[in-house]
Amino acid sequence: MGKKDRHTPRMAFVTLRDLPGTRVMFWVVDECPYCGERHLHPAGNLRTADPSDRLGEVPAVCDPTRVYELALPPRPKKKAGKTERRRERQGGKRDVVDDDKW
Ligand SMILES: [Zn+2]
């Protein structure tokens, strides 16, 4: 393949996960910059591989003709501030906002 596209790869933020009971790790793209889906990229064996070696440009799972750049997400801001989320008084897991009238 001669021609290499010079498109700037999109960033794909990843989280490192491992399979319970194994030493196999995955970089999980929570939201693909192209299709919005979740993709998994094997990051190797915990013992033998450095998962950060797998970061960087990789072909997108959904479209191998494109690449995105696996990158760690920016750290959440830890500044103590006024932005505590206390206003959200969610007692529990209440995703249901049904106002259905039967
Ligand atoms: Zn995708």
Which domain, by its residues, includes 55?
10-71
Cα–Cα distance between 73 and 56 in angstroms, integer? 13
> Is residue 102 a part of any domain in this protein?
no
Q: What pLDDT is attached to residue 43? A: 92
Q: What pLDDT is attached to residue 1? A: 46
> Is residue 62 a part of any domain in this protein?
yes
Instruction: Give how many domains the chain has, as a whole number.
Output: 1
Mean pLDDT of the chain: 81
> Is residue 84 a part of any domain in this protein?
no
> Is residue 17 a part of any domain in this protein?
yes
Give residue 80's pLDDT band: very low, low, confident or very high (50, 70, 90). Answer: low
Ligand 1 centroid to residue 8 C-alpha, Å:
16
Ligand 1 centroid to residue 66 C-alpha, Å:
10
> Is residue 58 a part of any domain in this protein?
yes
Ligand 1 centroid to residue 15 C-alpha, Å:
15
Q: Percentage of residues in the chain with pLDDT exceeding 70? A: 71
> Is residue 18 a part of any domain in this protein?
yes
> Is residue 26 a part of any domain in this protein?
yes
Ligand 1 centroid to residue 92 C-alpha, Å:
32
Q: What pLDDT is attached to residue 28? A: 96
The pTM score is: 0.64
